[in-house]
Each structure stands twice: as C-alpha cells, then as structure tokens.
Amino acid sequence: MHYLNRIKKLIPGVIQVVMFYSNGTVFHASSNQTINIPSIGESLAEIIEKYRHLMQLYDFEEESYKKILYETNKYIIAIIKLGEESHLALLFDNKEIQDVKIAPIKHYLTKLEELIDMDQSELNETPDNAIN
Amino acid sequence: MDIANIIIILVFVGLVLILMLELLNRAILAIIGGLICFLTLKFIKGEPFSLIVSYLFGSPEDGYVNLHSILLIFGMTIIVQICHKAGVFKFIAFKLVLSIIDRTQYLLLILCTITLILSALLNNILTVMIVIPLIITISRILNIDPEPLIITQAVLVNIGGTVFAISSIPNILITNSANIEFNEFFLNVGILSIVIFIITVGFFYILYYGKINVPKENVKILKEFNPWNFVQNRSLLLKSATVLLLVIIGFTLIPSDVLSADIIALIGAMMLVLISKLDIDKIVQELEMDIFIYLLGVFIIAGSVEYTGLLEKIGIFLSNLSGGNFFVVILLILWSSAILSSTIDNIPITKVLIPSIDSITATFTGANKKLAYYSLSIGANWGDNLTPMGDNILVMNLAEKNKRPIRMIEFWKVGFVTTIIQLIFATVYFTLITNIIAGLIFLVICCLLFAFLSIWYISKQKGTTLGMTFQNISKKIFRKTNYPKSLKIKRTIKITKNEEPSQEEK
C-alpha cells in the first residue's frame, strides 16, 4: 500500500481511502474494522452504477467516467476510476483542500491500476509464463 | 384418456417448454399451471379443495412430505442468507485461497474445494454468485486468465449439490419422499460425490496442464488483500458460522423420528434471527419468495400429473424396458434423469419422477429402492452441464458482467465431457454395488482408458510423442525409487560419461 501512502502525502486533507471493484469488493480500506466495509464497497459501486444508468437514460454516448465528486461544507468524496473495473474513493476534509486535482497523483493511480486490475486487452497480450 | 387428463398433461408439457425457453418468470408460470390444474380437477373431475391441499403440503399417509420440504428449504434459506450477509462464505473462501497462495499450483485445487464446500451448503445459484466474482477479482490481481477457473467451478458446482441431503432442492424432495436420513444420504451419495470430485479435479489438471500460470510477483499483491473486508461485523460472523455448524451437527446426530431436518433448520434459523440483531423486516423482504411460489405450483402440477395415472404408466414402461432387472432400472433412472435435467429445471423433473420410481421399485427391497433414489439424485443434479441450457447460463452472465466473457462453446465442450466422465464413474459405482466382479473390471477399464487419454493429451500439449511422454513418466518414477547403492553409482557414471564431450567433438 506504498502508493496509497504517497497519494495521501501528495494530497493533504485525505481522511479515508477505499480501493474497490465494480462488484463492491473492497481491496483496501484505510478505516478500522468497526466500520461496515462491505456495505461501503456496495454503496460506492452502486453510486457508479446509478450514474452509468443516468447516462443511459439521457441517451448519452456510453463512455467510462473519470471521477465523481460529492461535496458538502465539511467533506468531499471523490471517486476516481483506476482500471477496467477498479476504483479509488478518497474522502477529504473540505477545510483543508481547495480543489480536488488528480494530475499530481496520476502516476500513482496508474501504478495502482497495474497492480490490482488487469484489462482484458492486456490479458490477451500477456505471454505464457508458466511456473506449473 | 379423458379431457381433464389431457389438459393436465398439456399444462405439464407447457410448463417444461416455457421453462426451457425462459419466456415467463418460473414462479408465475408454476402458479398459472397449478391454477389450471386446480380448476380442471374441481370442475371436470369434481374433486374437493382438500385434494389440492394434499398436493401442496402432503397428506398424513405420506407424512406431509411436501410441507417438510418447504419448511426445510425456508429454514436453510434464512440461515444461508444471514451467513451470506455476515460474509461467512466469502471470508472462508478468501482465507483458504490465501493459505495456499505461495504454492500457486494448488490454486485450482483450492478453488475447486471452495466450490464443493459452498455448493454442499448453498444452492448452485448462490454458490456461483459468490465464487465467480471472487475468481475474477483474484485473476485481476494475479494477472491470469480466469476462463479455466470459471469453467471448472461452474462444472463442479453440480457435484457439490449431491454431498448432503440439504445441498439441493431435488435432494430435499427425494430424501423426504423416500425417508432417507441425512447420514445415510452422505454415506451413499456424499462420499461418492467427493470421489467423483477428486476424479474431476484430476481431469481439470490434465485439461489445463500449463495453462494456469500465476506470476509470482503478483502473489505479494494478493496477500495485501484483507479477508476481513468481506465482513461487516466480527461478532455476526462468529454467530452465523456457529449456528450453521450447529444445524449441520444437528442433522448428523439427531435421527429424523426424534426431530425432522426441517424443524432443526427452523430452530437454527429463528435462533440466528434473534441473536444476529439484524433488521427482521429486511431479512423477510430479502427472502427469495419466488422459489417457494414456484415449488407450490410445481407440487400441484406434479400431483395432478400423478392423478392422471401417467406416472404409473411411465413406471410400468421403464420396468418393462428393464425387464425387471434392478441394475438396468438404476442405470435407466441415472441416465434418463441426467438427460432430462440437462434441458429442463431439475425440480419438476425430480418431483414427477419420484412417483414413477415408487411404482418401478414396488417389488424391490428397501435398500435397493433407496439405490434407485440415489441414482435419481445423482442424475438430476449432475446432468445440468450436458447441454448449454442449464444453470450455466448464469455463469456466462456473471462472467460477462465482470468483463471476462466466456465462449459458450468452450464451456459446453468441457461441461459435456466432464459430465459424461462423471456419469460413467457413477455407473461404475452402481455396477460395483450390484456385481462386484463386473464392477471391478469396469473400473479397471475406465481407469486405464482415463490414464491413456490423459498421457496422450499431455503429450499433445507438450508437442512430444506418446512414447516420449511414457518415457518421461517412467523416468520420473525411476528417479524417485530407492535403488541399491551400486546401481546409483552406475547411473551416475553413465550420465557423467554422456555429458563429457568426445575427442571428435573437442
């Protein structure tokens, strides 16, 4: 989780980090075990699914999202797309952050995507590296 | 045949066809069918409502078999749902994967074992809904192609369905109708299922030889995955797992004449509802009521079909076909139920075949009668993958939803071959029971054929000849044997001589 720590350092004000898949499975959550982690994963996956459905209702051209922002006076929740089916949710303290900018952490996001989510296209290109 | 009988048989045929074509929700379809049967029996045959009640819940003569089945399914559904909510199954599955992940060659074996355990406790649909997304997530992290893993689990889910008497709805219907105890079923069918599971996994290892390659560096990333992320509350996890375990122990230790399985399941379910402190309204809302409505409809239709006398005629026909030979009857039931359940939902098939088996085996002894029911359970559960029309469509959908689509033809090829192998070994089992010498000969032939085909396939994969593969295998065996010291020295000298370049080469 080295890259997540780097992201936290680069963006001040990050309170919680959740790395999850579209099916709601949480790969990593920075919060402790008293929080209902599977439910957080399910809710985050549901949010993305709802937005995708909204795009369909408007008959917009189907394309993958880049980020979803939810801002209140105290907090900001940002969901950023990582790979084919993986996402990163960041929870910020609104007082400590002016604007959510992905550019400085883009390198680490790519690294995370490479680690936890391989695309179908990459899978087809991967040569056999048998160890069996 | 009078008009009422024709209407009832047409309703059953219609139900089967519409289920096959998936034109209507199965619960609604079964209720419509049940209603037509009821109206036919009431207005044409003048039968009272009490007849329909006896079809729905059973009668004092048959020990209220249908009611027992419904209560058992209801109790187990609640327990399984709360366990699923608590993350019990995903947590155990992921813990098991992490326990062997350093020895990646066992990944396929452990995933197969997880599928067997889950499908022995849950229904096939819930099992694949847990296992397939889990496999795809693991494959994303490990950078491997999930196709072989998905196909193998989808095939094995049917084997898990025959481990316990509660593993599938057909088993529940069969064991309740034939008065088969939980332990009795496990000893006769469960152990056979585990043996067939081992054979099937062996087959998969040969089939996917060198194709499931896990890059070592990705194993470290998978190890960072915390299985507790599947758990909403540690105390709920512990409570749910304990109740599930207690219920299974109850099934094993308490004889059904003291306390029937459905009552044990209901006690467990109510206990769990109370101690879990979950929202009861939400639990009730989330119960899949469609399976109960479907079952009630099927019970009325199956009872009405029995009323027409058709099932007795089928029984007489099968009995004549077998010439009264017990072994032929068993094989007829095994293979015909497998073929039927490959195209039609196995619940109505089982419900309709039970009375037919009753009439075929009327002259058989108690033990032989039960063997006929065991063959029905095996056929109805394992036949699913003979055609691409079974539950495997759900696996396809799940794989596609998780962006890892699988070609239907690829799945069907493996499913068909594996099911045939499984049914052949089940035939060997029944041959062994009826005639031990013939069974042993059959078993040896099957094992030799299986070994020869395996070596041929591996040699084909490696691009070597069959003879070379035989040589490699014999070499491996030769190396592992403890030879006398002198022989070892001679071998060393020979190898050293061969390795030294000759004068000419120099």
Least Cα separation, residue B106 to chain A (angstroms) = 10
* pLDDT number for residue B481: 44
Query: Would residue B278 be called left, alpha or beta, if left means φ above 0 and alpha means ψ between -120 and 50 degrees?
Result: beta
Coil, strand or helix at B44:
coil
Q: Residue B459 corresponds to which tokens in the numbers above?
A: 């040699």
Amino acid B169 reads: I
Give yes or no for a contact between B130 and A25, defined as CB atoms under 8 angstroms apart.
no
Asked if B209's CB is within 8 angstroms of A132's CB, the reply is yes
What's the CA gap between B146 and B404, in Å, rounded? 8
* pLDDT number for residue B21: 79
How much of chain B, in percent, has pLDDT values that exceed 70?
A: 90
B215 contact A CB<8A: yes
Query: Would residue B215 be called left, alpha or beta, if left means φ above 0 and alpha means ψ between -120 and 50 degrees?
Result: beta
Mean confidence (pLDDT) of chain B: 85
Confidence class of residue A33 from pLDDT cuts 50, 70 and 90?
A: low
Q: Provide the CA B40 distance to its chain's centre, in angstroms.
A: 37
Which tops the pLDDT comparison, B162 or B23?
B162
Asked if B229's CB is within 8 angstroms of A25's CB, the reply is yes
3 state SS for B56-119: HHCCCCCCCHHHHHHHHHHHHHHHHHHHHHHCHHHHHHHHHHHHHCCCHHHHHHHHHHHHHHHH
Confidence class of residue B117 from pLDDT cuts 50, 70 and 90?
A: very high
Residue A101 pLDDT > 60: yes
- Interface mutation target, options A5, A27, A126, chain B, most CBs of B under 10 Å: A27
Beta-carbon pairs below 8 A across chains A and B: 81
Mean pLDDT of all residues in B10-37: 89
Confidence class of residue B431 from pLDDT cuts 50, 70 and 90?
A: very high
Residue B92 pLDDT > 90: yes
B148 contact A CB<8A: no
B250 contact A CB<8A: no
* pLDDT number for residue A89: 93
Coil, strand or helix at A28:
strand
What's the CA gap between B335 and A18, in Å, rounded? 51
Residue of B397, B420, B421 whose CA lies nearest to B408: B397
Asked if B225's CB is within 8 angstroms of A128's CB, the reply is no
Question: Tens digit of pLDDT for each residue in B455-497?
Answer: 887 777 766 665 666 666 666 555 544 444 444 434 333 444 4
Mean pLDDT of all residues in B103-123: 91
pTM over 0.90: no
Q: Which residues contact B24 (CB under 8 A, 6 or more apart)?
A: B18
Neighboring chain A residues of B234 at a CB cutoff of 8 Å: 33
Coil, strand or helix at A91:
strand
Confidence class of residue A125 from pLDDT cuts 50, 70 and 90?
A: low
Q: Which residues contact B10 (CB under 8 A, 6 or more apart)?
A: none
Question: Tens digit of pLDDT for each residue in B437-460?
Answer: 888 998 899 888 888 888 887 777
Among A7-11, B348-352, B445-449, the least confident range: A7-11
In the block, residue with structure tokens 């947590």: B91
Residues of A engaging B, defined by a Cβ cutoff of 8 Å: 1, 21-23, 25-29, 33, 36-39, 41, 83-86, 115-118, 120, 122-123, 126, 128-132
Least Cα separation, residue B167 to chain A (angstroms) = 26
Dihedral sign of CA atoms B121, B123, B126, B130 in order: positive
Mean pLDDT of all residues in B416-437: 91
Q: Residue B96 corresponds to which tokens in the numbers above?
A: 């098991």
Residue B74 pLDDT > 70: yes
Among B21-35, B179-193, B309-323, B386-400, the least confident range: B386-400
Amino acid B22 reads: E
Neighboring chain B residues of A117 at a CB cutoff of 8 Å: 140-141
- Interface mutation target, options A19, A23, A36, A44, chain B, most CBs of B under 10 Å: A23
Residue A126 pLDDT > 70: no
* pLDDT number for residue B239: 95
Least Cα separation, residue B462 to chain A (angstroms) = 13
Residue B498: count of CB within 10 angstroms of its CB: 7
Question: Tens digit of pLDDT for each residue in B234-276?
Answer: 999 999 999 999 999 999 899 888 999 999 999 999 999 999 9
Neighboring chain B residues of A21 at a CB cutoff of 8 Å: 137, 140
Least Cα separation, residue B14 to chain A (angstroms) = 36
* pLDDT number for residue B291: 86
**ipTM of this complex prediction, to 2 decimal places:** 0.81
Which tops the pLDDT comparison, A43 or B233?
A43
Asked if B402's CB is within 8 angstroms of A22's CB, the reply is yes
Asked if B225's CB is within 8 angstroms of A37's CB, the reply is no
Question: Tens digit of pLDDT for each residue in B286-326?
Answer: 887 888 899 999 999 999 998 998 888 887 888 888 887 88
Mean pLDDT of all residues in B47-75: 90
What's the CA gap between B52 and B34, in Å, rounded? 9
Neighboring chain A residues of B225 at a CB cutoff of 8 Å: 27-28
Instruction: Summarize chain B as % helix, strand, coil (round to 5).
Output: 80, 0, 20
Confidence class of residue A12 from pLDDT cuts 50, 70 and 90?
A: confident
B506 contact A CB<8A: no
Asked if B231's CB is within 8 angstroms of A37's CB, the reply is yes
Query: Would residue A127 be called left, alpha or beta, if left means φ above 0 and alpha means ψ between -120 and 50 degrees?
Result: beta
* pLDDT number for residue B486: 41
Neighboring chain B residues of A116 at a CB cutoff of 8 Å: 140-141, 221
Among B3-12, B131-140, B203-212, B270-279, the least confident range: B203-212
DSSP structure string for B342-381: HHS-HHHHHHHHHHHHHHHGGGS-HHHHHHHHHHHHHHHH
Residue of A21, A41, A16, A9 whose CA lies nearest to A31: A16
* pLDDT number for residue B377: 95
What's the CA gap between B32 and B9, in Å, rounded? 14
- Hey, which residues 385-444 in chain B have their CB within 8 Å of chain A? 402-404
- When CB atoms are compared, the residue of B104, B221, B233 closest to A131 is B104
Residue A51 pLDDT > 90: yes
Neighboring chain A residues of B214 at a CB cutoff of 8 Å: 131
Asked if A38's CB is within 8 angstroms of B229's CB, the reply is yes
- CA distance to A87, B1, B90, B200, per residue, from B105 (Å): 30, 62, 21, 16
* pLDDT number for residue B489: 37
Terminal Cα-to-Cα distance of chain B (whole angstroms)? 95
Question: Tens digit of pLDDT for each residue in B362-408?
Answer: 888 878 889 999 999 999 999 888 877 666 777 888 888 888 888 88
Least Cα separation, residue A35 to chain B (angstroms) = 7
